[in-house]
Amino acid sequence: MDMPRRGVGYERELAKILWERGWAVIRGPASGGGSRSRVQPDLVAVRGGVVLVFEIKKARGETVYLDPGQVLGLLEWARRAGGDAWIALRLVGKGWRFHRADSLEHTRRGGFKISRPGGGLKLRDLLTLYGGGVRRIDSYLEG
């Protein structure tokens, strides 16, 4: 029972970070709950019409293998919501990295993988991509 609590902790950590940066955030209702009839994202974040859906995984720096049904379900969920699907990796001792779910590598057996987990976007880069980066103080001044 120890593993799911840690996974839930990572979901809550990312939810708190995004909430504090102005996103409306909700954890998937079946997140961490075992089997479910349809795939749901671990986390959904919405701001200004932008919808981000996340599958959250813990990683230690080696290749991360992803269940094809989970990835395809995440992509379908994002398509229906009009959003973007991301794999959010919580790298042990190194923070967050984000990989687009529609750009994952394929395995020989039809699954998906991330060979370089640390090569994804950092949190600040993800937020900047969606217009949520840090603004300089002079950007608020009329000129």
Domain map of the chain by residue range? 2-140
32's tokens: 């961490």
Mind listing the pLDDT tens digit of every residue in the chain (143 residues)? 333 346 688 999 999 999 999 999 999 866 555 545 677 899 999 999 999 999 999 998 799 999 999 999 999 999 999 999 999 999 988 899 999 999 999 999 989 999 999 999 999 999 999 986 554 555 545 54
Let me know: does 90 contact 58? Beta carbons within 8 Å.
yes
Let me know: does 89 contact 120? Beta carbons within 8 Å.
yes
Instruction: Specify the length of the chain in residues.
Output: 143
Q: Which residues are annotated as a binding site?
A: 11, 42, 55
Architecture of domain 2-140: 3-Layer(aba) Sandwich (3.40)
| Torsion sign (Cα): 111, 123, 14, 28 | negative
Q: Which residues are annotated as a binding site for Mg(2+)?
A: 11, 42, 55
H helices of the chain, where?
2-20, 68-81, 123-129
135's tokens: 């603004």
Over the stretch 16-48, which tens digit does the pLDDT of each residue have?
Answer: 999 999 999 999 866 555 545 677 899 999 999
Query: Cα(105)–Cα(101) distance, rounded to whole angstroms?
Result: 9
Q: Which residues are catalytic?
A: 31
